[in-house]
Structure formats: C-alpha cells, structure tokens
Amino acid sequence: MQPVLYGYFRSSCSWRVRIAFALKGIEYEQKSVNLIKDGGQQLTDQFKAINPMQQVPAVTIDGITLSQSLAIIQYIEETRPEPRLLPADPKQRGQVRIICDIIASGIQPLQNLYVLQKIGADKVQWAQHFINRGFEALEPILKQTAGKYCIGDEISMADICLVPQVYNAERFKVDMSQFPTIRRLNQTLIEIDAFKATHPSCQPDTPDDLQA
Amino acid sequence: MQPVLYGYFRSSCSWRVRIAFALKGIEYEQKSVNLIKDGGQQLTDQFKAINPMQQVPAVTIDGITLSQSLAIIQYIEETRPEPRLLPADPKQRGQVRIICDIIASGIQPLQNLYVLQKIGADKVQWAQHFINRGFEALEPILKQTAGKYCIGDEISMADICLVPQVYNAERFKVDMSQFPTIRRLNQTLIEIDAFKATHPSCQPDTPDDLQA
C-alpha cells in the first residue's frame, strides 16, 4: 500500500516531506488538510485522531502513522536508505542536523500559522523578526559548510529544510539580499526536479489563482 | 580532551544534553553562559562565534563545535552508542522522534526566553497556552507508547526531552493534573541518577538561593 501524506500545499513542513518522497522516488497519495477552510480542517476530531498536535504533515506508512516532518523524513531515511539524505560521516550528519534544527526548532515554529493567529495584527513584523534572526545565524554556518548544496556537494535533509523556509521568508517579504549564501543555495536547489515538482504552486490542492 | 558543554543551569535544552552525557557516562566540562547577567552572555561576540544562534547549549567535542540539543545528542548517540538512546526498531525510533520533535519544535521554542522577552507582560499566559497545547497532544500519544518510560521500558531521547519540559511547565504553573501519563513518567524518571544529578537545582552555576 502506498504511503499517504496528509498535508497542505502551502505548509512548509508538508513540503519538506514531499521533497523527501520525491528524492527517494517513493510514490505516495496526497490527502489535503486545508488549514484555512472550515476554520481549519486540522482541528476536526477526525484529523486529531491522526495527529493529536492538529498540524500537518502526518504520514501513514508501513502500517503506522507518523507526524512531525523530521521524524517522518528520518523514518523514511532509515527504511528506504537510497539515495541517502544524511551523510555517512557522523560529523557531517551533525552539521546537517544543526541546520535542520535551526530551521525546524528555531525559525519555523515561530512563524507557524497557529502562532501568527495568536499574534494578530503585528504578525508580519513578528515573522520577519524571527526569520531574520534565524537566517543571520544560518548564513555564516552555511558559508562554512556549503559546497553546491548546504553540506558539501550532496543533497541532504538540510536542503530539504532550507528551501521551504526560504519560500516562507519570501512570503513574509524578508530581504534575502542580506543572505547571499542562502539565496545562492536556494536558487540552485529550486531548479532540481524533486524540489520543483513538489513546490506549493503546483500541488493537487493549490487553488487555481495560485497555480504556477 | 573532554567535551565542553556551554550551557545554563535553567535552560531546558542544556539539561537535555546534560542528561544524555550522564546516561552515557561521559565526563565533560561545563562552561556557564548566563542568559540573564550582563544582558545575556549568549549575545557576546565571543559566544556568537561558538553558536551563531546565540543560544545554549553548544558543545565542543572531537574537534568540532555542535549546537542544537537534538543534533548534539544524536551526534553523541552515533559516536558513543552505548547505552543507546534510540531503539533499534525504526518504528519505535519514529515514535521517539515524534515525541522529541513535539517538544523541541512544538513547545519549547514558543516558551523560550527570547520569545517571552518579545511577548512582554502576557508572557506567563502565552507560555501556559503553548505548553498546554503541546501536552494535550503528548498525553494521548504517550498513553499509547509508554511502558515504564516514554517508549516502552527503555530510556530514550524522548525521556530526555520530556523531563526538562515538565520542569518548564511547573515553572509556568501549568496544571499537571490534566496530564496523568506525563506526570507519572516524569515522577519515575526524575528519580533516576542521570536525571537527578543534572537537575537545574544542583549545577555549578545554580545560584545559592535556588540550590536544592
């Protein structure tokens, strides 16, 4: 049975999982959970049974249900190791995970929909503040670790996290000229099929007026 | 050379790393980065060179510098595998990581010092809101996965994340009677040496009036 991804076209964490599936060449079914419509379909009892955190993404795979994008991606990595998304060397794996966690714990949660709903009118400045703060840390780190991609010349989980976060930054009008390394990496990655085909602008649940 | 942990007694993410070192029986040196004194020692240029995110913990180990507590702990796990902090079975590893990531991405970042400083006067309600929201998701998940500890009867990274988050919840006066499974697990874990010896109340930089 194919894995099922419960996601939303514009959710950056859902996009991370779409990229991982695409890089691994794994076929999957997408079920859309519209975070806006009906007051948020993630809040229904039906979805709460799938993910008690009431967030996307969630994935059913191999008879289990997983949530939290990095937990999902690492499960996929451990059960479908080729092509690998984590380097073999523990030090390089550490570098990959630092970048993933800066984004997944240090940036994205602070500009998540349910947080911004609680912030209210100041939400754009709030999101900009925390994305800028995170990118100011990522830029010097990536300057040291990057080759063609975030860590050397091999695509990794770090790249999977970076591109959707840059997409969010652009949505919140962050001035990306401050972050030349991040911008350069994003421009390279976004041309790769697995990133292009999974972009929020071309998903089954992308509204017509936002289609690329 | 011993690893060096740059941390702060009350930082829950520093505590995670202290527990991991203790469980593995790894000797390390602690360097205190006082998050309050001098306007926050994590903001100095000297510390920024160690961790551009200007947060604790950071660890120097095996000639490299790591930041982000889960990246640090997984590096330790991959280079010092005994006793293991992740189960052997990929599905169980997935469960461990879901719990870690709910805490590390879904709860802790929203009640972090630098976020609460930006929230201002409403900070206690803000922190309570997001801790409650996260624990409401964790409780039913842990009810299913827990044995003696978070995942079955083996201590894992999930336990390492849970205990410091419960400590934060108590600081913010969250009503823990709503979460009987979390409370029961915490009570069991907190009696274990590796958790007890690393508690914020008995670190080298714990102020005298907060010493246990």
By Cβ distance, the residue of B68, B90, B110 closest to A101 is: B68
Q: What is the distance in angstroms between the Cα of B191 and the nearest Cα belonging to chain A?
A: 28
Average pLDDT on A157-173 reads 98
Q: Which of A121-125, B71-75, B85-89 has the lowest mean pLDDT?
A: A121-125
What residues contact A9, with CB distance under 8 A and at least 6 apart? A32, A200, A203, A204, A205, A206, A210
- What per-residue confidence (pLDDT) applies to A210? 86
Q: What is the distance in angstroms between the Cα of A65 and the nearest Cα belonging to chain B?
A: 9
Cis peptide before B164 (omega within 30 of 0): no
The alpha-carbon radius of gyration of chain A (Å, integer) is 17
Q: Which fold has domain B90-195?
A: Glutathione S-transferase Yfyf (Class Pi); Chain A, domain 2 (1.20.1050)
Interface of A with B in 118-137 (CB under 8 A): 118, 126, 129, 134, 136-137
Q: Is B176 on the interface with A (CB under 8 A)?
A: no
Residues of A in contact with B52 (CB under 8 A): 136-138, 140-141
pLDDT at B150 over 90: yes
- What per-residue confidence (pLDDT) applies to B1? 87
- Is the Cβ pair A101, B74 closer than 8 Å? no
pLDDT at A211 over 90: no
The pLDDT-based confidence of B156 (bands split at 50, 70, 90) is: very high
Helix/strand/coil for B102: helix
Long-range contacts of A174-183 (CB under 8 A, 24+ apart): A174/A128, A174/A131, A174/A132, A174/A135, A178/A132, A178/A135, A178/A136, A178/A139, A179/A135, A179/A136, A179/A138, A179/A139, A180/A139, A181/A139, A181/A142, A181/A143, A181/A146, A182/A135, A182/A138, A182/A139, A182/A142
Average pLDDT on A12-40 reads 96
Cis peptide before B90 (omega within 30 of 0): no
Average pLDDT on B14-26 reads 98
Summarised one tens digit per residue, pLDDT across range B92-146 is 999 999 999 999 999 999 999 889 999 988 999 999 999 999 999 999 999 999 9
- What per-residue confidence (pLDDT) applies to A145? 98
Report yes or no: A141 and A99 within 8 Å, Cβ to Cβ: yes
> What is the C-alpha separation between A13 and A55, in angstroms, rounded?
9
The mean pLDDT of chain B is 96
pLDDT at A212 over 90: no
- Is the Cβ pair B106, A109 closer than 8 Å? yes
Closest by CA to B115, choosing from B161, B72, B168, is B168
- What per-residue confidence (pLDDT) applies to A48? 95
The pLDDT-based confidence of B160 (bands split at 50, 70, 90) is: very high
- What per-residue confidence (pLDDT) applies to A3? 98
pLDDT at B212 over 90: no
- Is the Cβ pair B75, A52 closer than 8 Å? no
The pLDDT-based confidence of B71 (bands split at 50, 70, 90) is: very high
Share of chain A above pLDDT 70, in %: 100
Q: Bridge-partner residues for B146, per DSSP?
A: B152
Q: What are the backbone dihedrals phi and psi of residue B57, each rounded to the nearest 5 degrees, phi first?
A: -85, 160
Tokens of B193: 């040496």
The pLDDT-based confidence of A149 (bands split at 50, 70, 90) is: very high
Domain boundaries, chain A: 4-83, 90-195
The pLDDT-based confidence of A76 (bands split at 50, 70, 90) is: very high
> What is the C-alpha separation between A41 and A37, in angstroms, rounded?
7
The pLDDT-based confidence of A20 (bands split at 50, 70, 90) is: very high
* CATH placement of domain A4-83: 3.40.30.10
> What is the C-alpha separation between B198 and A109, in angstroms, rounded?
28
The pLDDT-based confidence of A1 (bands split at 50, 70, 90) is: confident
Share of chain B above pLDDT 90, in %: 93
ipTM score of complex: 0.97
The mean pLDDT of chain A is 96
